[in-house]
Structure 1
Amino acid sequence: MSTTPSDASRPSLIRWPERLGYGVGDTACCLFWAIVSSYLNLFYTDVFGLAPAALAWLLLITRIWDAAFDPVVGMIADRTSTRWGKFRPWILWSIVPFMVAEIALFTTPHLGPTGKLVYAYITYSVVMLIYSAINVPYGALLGVITDDSAERTTLASYRFIGAFVGNFIVQGILLYLVQALGRGNNRLGYTLAVTILACGSGLLLFYVFLSTNERIQPPQAENSVRRDLRDLLGNRPWLVLFAMGAISLVYLTLRQVASVYYVTYYMGDRGLIPAFLLAGTAFSILGAMLAPWMARRVGCKKRTFILLTLWAAACNAATALAGPRDLVLIFGTQMLGSMPLAAIFPLMGSMFADTADYGELKFGRRATGLIFAGSTFSQKTGGAIGAAIVNLVLSSVGYVANAKQSASVLGGLRHLMGTLPAAGGLLVAGLALFYEIDTKREREIGAAIAARVRSVAAGRPSDS
């Protein structure tokens, strides 16, 4: 949160073009991530030809390895120094490799089962490592664009609106592109469709690089990886938020991955997939837009987070009660449950930035990149566990690709969409009670750091 004295007197310098530029970064990321979260599992089992059990281990191993790489990216980014800043250059440098790796991921080679599995391990690992080199610095930008907590919540809201716009695009056109471009050959269709989306993602990431600015400079401090990690593990609010983020992504991923199977086999109509996903995304955009207003209305990000999580859990519990023909209940809970889920992630992004301020005050050092790398680590770990659970459940209940499913498979899909996400939401709401940074504490931290900055600027030792 350290700034120059002039910056300290003007905490919010952000105009709408920069807000938009930051927001479309997650549109770019989600032109890739929405395919991975909603369609990669189906692509691997029904098009590429992997068994669910093998896929469960692939996703678990590669995503946890990728998640462990995030803190490394964060520490490297914290130590990067260029005329463009610390974080923006990584976005620029990674664009072309990311586009190439994404296209390779959705290309099906003419190999046997073992060769395909090896190819999937390699391409998925590579694309996720490059994605980390983009997404970790992009997330960390939120902590250095501005030091104002309310502005950070607004920027985080723009980010997640951008994310759901990316989701909306993918969910609305991907399957149509696959069919139109593949002309019955889904392997070719996926490759060509992803090529188009990858090009759009690259252009948007370049715009992020051009339109954003890094204003907040960290205090001069000892350059020690061991000290960085020790400070991070001593940051109690960050540890609680880490657990909240991981479990939130477990239950969110359960629904994301299971949705296409649920609509195809439980509801019995694959043609409803775009409508089902788009309905949720439309309300997700609304939820992300309302996140700053809801936080102001409640008066505390922590309390807002808890209320929204309980709201989502109630909707997920209602989904568990829906029969295959209960379209009103299924679509209603999809829409009403997507709103609070979408709103909690802008709040969580702003809360992670607040934990960076907490760390700077407590330890006299700021590691914004590592803080946000830790946040993506928690989310990717949660996503890995969630995706593995889906595939292990599918394998255990006897899922067979492109066939009529048994009653046990249909029951498993209902629990993946309803019962398990509801239980996860209740657990996260309970954990949030232990997050100690409320509105009062935010203001105390901000005032203490501002006083320290003024003291250093005046040449006096800080007493905080």
Structure 2
Amino acid sequence: MNTSSQKVSVIEKIGYSLGDLAANLIFQTLMTFLAFFYTDVYKIPPGTASAIIFSGGMIGAFFNPFMGIIADRTMTRWGKFRPWILWTAVPFGVIAILAFSTPDFGAGGKVAYAMITYILLVIVYSANNLPYASLSGVLTGDMAERNSISSYRFVAVMVAQFIVQALLLPLVLIMGDGDKTKGFESVMTLFAVTGIIFFLITFLTTKERVIPKPEQKSSVKEDVSDLIKNKPWIAMLVITIFIFITLSLKGGMYVYYFENYLSEDALSNFLQNIGFNNFIAGLNNMLTGMGLHGFTWPEDAPTSGFSLFNAGGIIMMILGITISKKLADKFGKRDVFGISLFLSALCLLLFYFYAPESISLVFITQLVHGFFYGIGTPLLWAMIADVADYSEWKTNRRATAIIFSAMIFGLKAGLSIGGALVAGILAVYGYSEQLTIQSPETINGIKLSLSVYPTITFTISVIVCMFFYEINKKKEIEIQRELELRRK
């Protein structure tokens, strides 16, 4: 295993992180708004939308192991993983636009169009994001540097999350002049163009340093055998599945929580009392004065409240990320990740008990949840990179992409299950986009979906992490030292 200097420059860390910002403009939109887009914008029934999200997503998920095998065996002058970021940049952008377009088909045509474009999108996402994620394992063999890269990367993720969760709905209404159909198409076009540019920057600014020896050969059978014997890999697969079920489920339900459960009057009063409405009025006056009459902020309280709720959580997540590396360097990734996840799960549980008028408590809980979850956010992918080192340490063979492929499989499976649960739970509890006021049964299903159910799935992740992921701080140091000696 050959390596050059293990230090990574700030420019390279920023360049690498822009790739995740690009991917997350699309991924966060899928996780937060896909069910809403299908049911409330494209007018696909919730049960059918659930089937599309689950079946399409799982097809994409099962593509990941094949992509991992291909990526590990890619040999170019640019490396194994960087060229895939280049090759998939434009297709990713184009298909993202198509997936959020709304051609005027009949009921069957809409379902077929949604299914085809969603499958294409998750497949091209795998071809792009699996090599991108694997790249983090070969930029450096230094685990402290890897923690630093993850922190940069997930600040970029938080920026994308802020844009999507705090600004997407207002942007949809602004750019569509109140028409959500036109608005989604316009916003996704903007995201796609931005993403293509950022992917190209990632390709141009990064370098693969952990390079397998030319004589290293392994068959697919050996790679799969190594995975099955790798207990930390199995643990991370389970953790990843349940984390992304949680993120997709709660993230997809928040918009329904604001639209259908929280009191609009109480929300309006809250926004007025904290000065948000005055701030927006000043912003609208400034935009109007600049001649941008079509870019004034929407007036409805649920849209503003939802945006501010997500923005506050994301800002606190960024604060959590800033201390993540120091905590991980001192106590080890596993322990910090498990504890932060458990505390964030407790915060989610509280949402079930709040009354529709308890707006202040809802926002405060979101801030605390965001901080604790932010601490663990960058550690997930750094832990997966450590699993690749663990595999090399055990077998003396490096197979980075196939290890990451399983994690992307877990991400896709979790996204598919969580997204399908959003639409499926709405269908089970009788949600109808035609109703102005939903039934008490439907409201209860919405509350359960962003509190009790995510608490359960987060807790499962914590248990698996703490009891089956054996790479603690002591083991991290041992693996890094032994691999450094071998690579020299």
State the AA in 2 paired with 1:451: L
| SS of structure 2 residue aligned to 1:46 | helix
The structure 1 residue matched to 2:441, chosen from 396, 408, 413, is: 408
The structure 2 residue matched to 1:244, chosen from 239, 245, 249, is: 239
Alignment of 1:283 onto 2:316: yes
Alignment of 1:215 onto 2:247: no
State the AA in 2 paired with 1:254: L
Report the RMSD for the aligned CA atoms in angstroms: 1.4
8 A Cα contact 2:7 2:145, kept in partner: no
Aligned equivalent of 2:105? 111
| SS of structure 2 residue aligned to 1:356 | helix
* 1:32-43 correspondence to structure 2 within 5 Å: 32-43=26-37
Provide the rounded CA distance (Å) in 2 between the counterparts of 1:443 and 1:212. Answer: 26
Residue 340 of structure 1: how far off its partner (Å): 2.3
State the AA in 2 paired with 1:436: E
Residue 402 of structure 1: how far off its partner (Å): 4.4
The structure 1 residue matched to 2:20, chosen from 12, 19, 26, is: 26
* 1:362-377 correspondence to structure 2 within 5 Å: 362-377=394-409
Provide the rounded CA distance (Å) in 2 between the counterparts of 1:189 and 1:394. Answer: 24
Alignment of 1:85 onto 2:85: no
Q: Deviations over 1:175-227 (max 9, x none)?
A: 23322222233212211121111111111111111111111102332241121
Aligned equivalent of 1:459? none
Aligned equivalent of 1:421? 454
Change (3 A) 1:184 1:252: closer
The structure 1 residue matched to 2:223, chosen from 200, 224, 228, is: 228
The TM-score normalised by the length of structure 1 is: 0.93
Aligned equivalent of 1:3? 2
Alignment of 1:443 onto 2:443: no
Residue 296 of structure 1: how far off its partner (Å): 2.8
Alignment of 1:179 onto 2:160: no
The structure 1 residue matched to 2:378, chosen from 346, 353, 356, is: 346
Provide the rounded CA distance (Å) in 2 between the counterparts of 1:268 and 1:398. Answer: 20
Provide the rounded CA distance (Å) in 2 between the counterparts of 1:199 and 1:448. Answer: 44
Q: Which segment is superposed worse, 263-272 or 99-108?
A: 263-272
8 A Cα contact 1:311 1:337, kept in partner: yes
Alignment of 1:259 onto 2:291: no
**Percent of pairs identical after alignment?**
35
Provide the rounded CA distance (Å) in 1 between the counterparts of 2:125 and 2:459. Answer: 31
State the AA in 2 paired with 1:67: A
Q: Which segment is superposed worse, 163-172 or 38-47?
A: 163-172
Residue 268 of structure 1: how far off its partner (Å): 4.5
8 A Cα contact 2:35 2:422, kept in partner: no
8 A Cα contact 1:158 1:289, kept in partner: no
Provide the rounded CA distance (Å) in 1 between the counterparts of 2:263 and 2:200. Answer: 41
| SS of structure 1 residue aligned to 2:450 | helix
Aligned equivalent of 1:301? 333
8 A Cα contact 2:263 2:357, kept in partner: no
* 1:143-162 correspondence to structure 2 within 5 Å: 143-162=137-156
Residue 34 of structure 1: how far off its partner (Å): 1.6
Aligned equivalent of 1:462? none
8 A Cα contact 2:31 2:247, kept in partner: no
Aligned equivalent of 1:100? 94
| SS of structure 2 residue aligned to 1:144 | coil
State the AA in 1 paired with 2:360: V
Provide the rounded CA distance (Å) in 1 between the counterparts of 2:237 and 2:178. Answer: 44
Aligned equivalent of 1:461? none
Q: Deviations over 1:360-412 (max 9, x none)?
A: 12112111111111111112111211112222211111001142111111111
Deviating above 6 A after TM superposition, structure 1's stretches of 4 or more consecutive aligned residues are none
Residue 134 of structure 1: how far off its partner (Å): 0.9
Number of residue pairs the alignment of both structures matches: 447
The TM-score normalised by the length of structure 2 is: 0.89
Any stretches of 5+ residues in structure 1 without a counterpart?
A: 455-464
State the AA in 2 paired with 1:56: S
Provide the rounded CA distance (Å) in 1 between the counterparts of 2:188 and 2:263. Answer: 26
Any stretches of 5+ residues in structure 2 without a counterpart?
A: 265-301
Aligned equivalent of 1:200? 194
Provide the rounded CA distance (Å) in 2 between the counterparts of 1:108 and 1:136. Answer: 29
